[in-house]
Structure 1
Amino acid sequence: MKKQALLPEQKEALLSILQTRFEKNTNRHKSIKWEQVKAKLEANDAKLWILDDMEQTGGEPDVVGYDEKTGEYIFYDCAAESPKGRRSICYDREALESRKEHKPADSALNMAAAMGITLLTETEYRALQQLGKFDTKTSSWVQTPAEIRKLGGALFCDCRYNTVFVYHNGAESYYAARGFRGSLRV
């Protein structure tokens, strides 16, 4: 992945958005201080570029944790519904190529890789749901175990009736209300 950098005014605008979101949602990161996160971000143009891409596609990234072992802050897409700029896509390239007609524009794994983020796992998705109400009208592809994917399936999650549901579909399926959420470590 080639190193990208935001223009100074773009960087300032993104940091302002991230700080406002961070301060409005302190329940997501109780013991984390913004100044520490900001220092990490300002020192890493490549990660800021990725966070901007997450923001531009509707993800509303926010800090959800800190990894003591690696010293990294963990960002998840925290938009109320699956990011608008990442919907109507199938699961992966194999699924995309298997469609003979009515192909979606892309796949979740392709888009995530191009952006530099990782699809949430089922465990991460469930942890996200402890921080608020997400995907009450949409759904999000999550990382799928190889055994399921080999058989043609893929997993997605949503939250209905105050409960997280994990479902399966053919990996080549796509719906207007299904996208994906990603994570990034900084």
Structure 2
Amino acid sequence: MISPERTLTPEQRDELIRTLKTRFERNMHRHPGLDWTDVQARLEARPEKLWSLHEMERTGGEPDVVGFDSQTGEYIVYDCAPESPKGRRSLCYDHAALESRKQHKPEGSAVGMAEAMGIELLTEQEYRELQKLGAFDTKTSSWVRTPPEIRRLGGAVFCDRRYDTVWVYHNGAESYYASRGFRGSLRV
């Protein structure tokens, strides 16, 4: 059963489907060989995923289909906004990092917000796959899922694109910047 807080109104659902369809059709290079009617049927069969997609859209992620997993039958959706989503910036990496800050705490954490939205942070590999579809984060940066061994030492990893190259960096997990957010993925 779907929680009432995670349910869209019929109007929200219809508007989201229209937005996703328009984006899908305008960006066919992101998903060659995939058909919107199949995607829409899958979305309509999984209303809990629609809520997560709505959250991705609401926070500026511009979600779009970037692939299909033939083994699971799932469509893969990434945030495809040109820059790190505006509604997900100024966040430290995770809850532990947020709690470690004594002063000037950010509103939240990237990992916490992603969990609340029902999505996953992109991995470094997924981020690199996204960058093959266009030039993303040319003025911003995005936290990516950090390997546990780096996180245990207090660090976190983020990426951006400068000089037509994808860069991977590290920072203290408790740091946050107005130009750094996170990109998410969702399997539908």
TM-score range, shorter chain: over 0.9
What secondary structure, in the 3-state scheme, does the structure 1 residue paired with 2:170 have? strand
Q: Distance in 1 between matches of 2:97 and 2:51?
A: 28
Structure 1 counterpart of 2:63: 61
CA distance in 1, matches of 2:129, 2:62: 17
One-letter amino acid matched to 2:67: G
* Counterparts of 2:148 and 2:12, CA distance in 1: 39
1:52 to 33, 54, 61: 54
Letter in 1 for 2:18: S
The one-letter code sitting in structure 2 at the alignment partner of 1:184 is L
Q: TM-score, normalised by structure 1?
A: 0.98
Correspondence list, 1:101-120, <5 A:
101-120=103-122
Size of the aligned set, in residue pairs, is 186
Partner of 2:102: 100
Aligned residue type for 1:159: R
Q: How does 1:139-158 map to 2 (within 5 A)?
A: 139-158=141-160
Aligned counterpart, 1:162: 164
Q: CA RMSD in A?
A: 0.9
| Whole-angstrom distance in 1 between the partners of 2:106 and 2:30 | 33
1:176 matched to which residue of 2? 178
Question: Percent identical across equivalent pairs?
Answer: 69
Match of 1:131 in 2: 133
TM-score (norm 2): 0.97
For structure 2, list consecutive stretches of 5 or more residues without a partner in the other structure: none
The CA deviation at 1:43 is 1.1
